[in-house]
Amino acid sequence: MKTPGLWDQATKGSKTPQRSLNAPLAERMRPRNLADFIGQEHLLGEGHILRRMIETDTLSSLIFWGPPGCGKTTLAHIIAAETKSHFIFFSAILSGIKEIREIFREAEGYAARGLRTILFVDEIHRFNKSQQDAFLPYVEKGVVTIIGATTENPSFEVIAPLLSRCRVLTLKQLEPPILRGILEQALSDDERGLGKLALTASNEALDFLAAQADGDARIALNTLEVAAGLMSKGQVDERIITLDTVQEALQKKALLYDKGGEEHYNVISAFIKSMRGSDPDAALYWLARMLEAGEDPLFILRRMIILASEDIGNADPRALQVAVSALQAFQVIGMPEGRIIMGQAVTYLATAPKSNASYIGIDAALSEVRKSGALPVPLYVRNAPTKLMKELGYHKGYQYAHDYAEGYSGQDCLPEKIAGRKFYEPKGHGYEKNIVERMEWLRNKRKNQPS
């Protein structure tokens, strides 16, 4: 017997949960079958993988990975309607491992009677690693077929043993034309949508809403419902949802940006690559995206300091000073004025000449150390603070740079085994042109130095 509240819905065969007329428009308008579903053609088009699985009732364990509002849960409802298996819809937000075990015991009972159980786990990434471990023996034995849904990259959020037993299906963000079609369907649907209100919407209103919903059908539909509620009843000239009405309903929408998830890394990557690629406009755009979404400005500034050394280096030594000064100034000023400081620093770093020679140099030196180990320090560059050390030859033969013309002796300070090895090779960009010339002068000076 099922315990009330353990899972959202449990359905068998072709039965689907009834949706209340008081439910939000997005919930009421969920497609009930494959024919109603719009989008995700790469999975549900004729002959494509998920359609074939559903139509032939040959589902294997799956992970649906995609952004909010792209149809993951809706597909679960469709599977519930069209599969011949016992189907359980389970939310990882509301329940834990105790309830999962009860579901597995029930599934074992169905398996003993030759019936398959499909367990749809919404927000599967919210289970921790040990909780996900509990799925493994039941999936391995075929007691349940799991369909997990997640907005997070499964590579990071789903344990490897479970991931290896599931096929990951990536759902795409819904494009504006698809969202517009969904909105038009909701306006005309008398049974579940807004059809009985006899409303229409201007083309610019629908286009704007479809574009501003960020590929999320839930946002688009629920905003349309709010816009419909703003309309005055009974006035014919006000039965058209206009752009102004949609803007009023939409207000300011939170950007798609999860500071703990993949989108966080996508945006910061785009930001860094824009500065590295000397594109100040793109760098400012991605900076604005992060600030508007509530990213910690100090995190952004620390990444800018790293870039100043990693990607600019000695091509413009001032870049590091600018980045560090920006962080210090921001700590004094804070937001919102701190955005101005960040904008100045970002445009400086983006337009500065680039060189990663120092970055390559330190990594090359680390590689050599790991390969050759702790090579002995040449005796002549060792200090000799004691009599014994002097007797052992420490410091003997050291050439004090200031005793030589122009302050350069040319003495090699590397261990004997790797003497002459080059780690730093400046590229000649920006100020590094001066460094290249200086290093060439030093090499010639060393060649001509009396031995």
- Based on the domain organization, do 143 and 86 belong to the same domain? yes
Residues 275 and 306 in one domain: yes
Averaged confidence pLDDT in the chain: 86
**pLDDT value at residue 261:** 64
In this structure, the answer to whether residues 316 and 428 fall within a common structural domain is no
Give the pLDDT of residue 5.
31
Q: Does some domain include residue 324?
A: yes
- Residues 401 and 334 reside in one and the same domain: no
In a domain, 256, yes or no: no
Residue at 367 is within a domain: no
Are residues 23 and 162 located together in one domain of the fold?
yes
Query: What would the pLDDT profile of 74-121 be if each residue is shown by its tens digit?
Result: 898 888 778 777 888 887 777 667 788 888 888 888 888 878 888 888
Q: 180 with 152, same domain?
A: no
Residue that wins the pLDDT comparison between 228 and 98:
228
CATH number for the domain harbouring residue 412 = 1.10.3710
Segments forming the whole domain that contains residue 187: 176-250
How large is the average pLDDT for residues 23-42?
Answer: 90
Q: Are 36 and 159 within one domain?
A: yes
Q: How many CA atoms lie within 13 A of 144 on its CB side?
A: 28
**pLDDT at residue 15, rounded to an integer:** 39
Note whether residue 79 is domain-resident.
Answer: yes
pLDDT at 11 over 50: no
What pTM, to 2 d.p., does this model score? 0.62
Q: What's the pLDDT band for 2 if we cut at 50, 70, 90?
A: very low
> Mean of the pLDDT values across residues 419-426?
91
pLDDT at res. 13 = 39
Q: Which residues pair with 120 in a beta bridge?
A: 89, 147
Give the domain-ending residue among 250, 274, 297.
250
pLDDT in tens, 171-193: 998 999 999 999 999 999 999 99
Number of independent structural domains in the chain: 4
Residues 155 and 219 both lie in one domain: no
Digit-coded pLDDT (tens) for 235-252 = 445 689 998 899 888 885
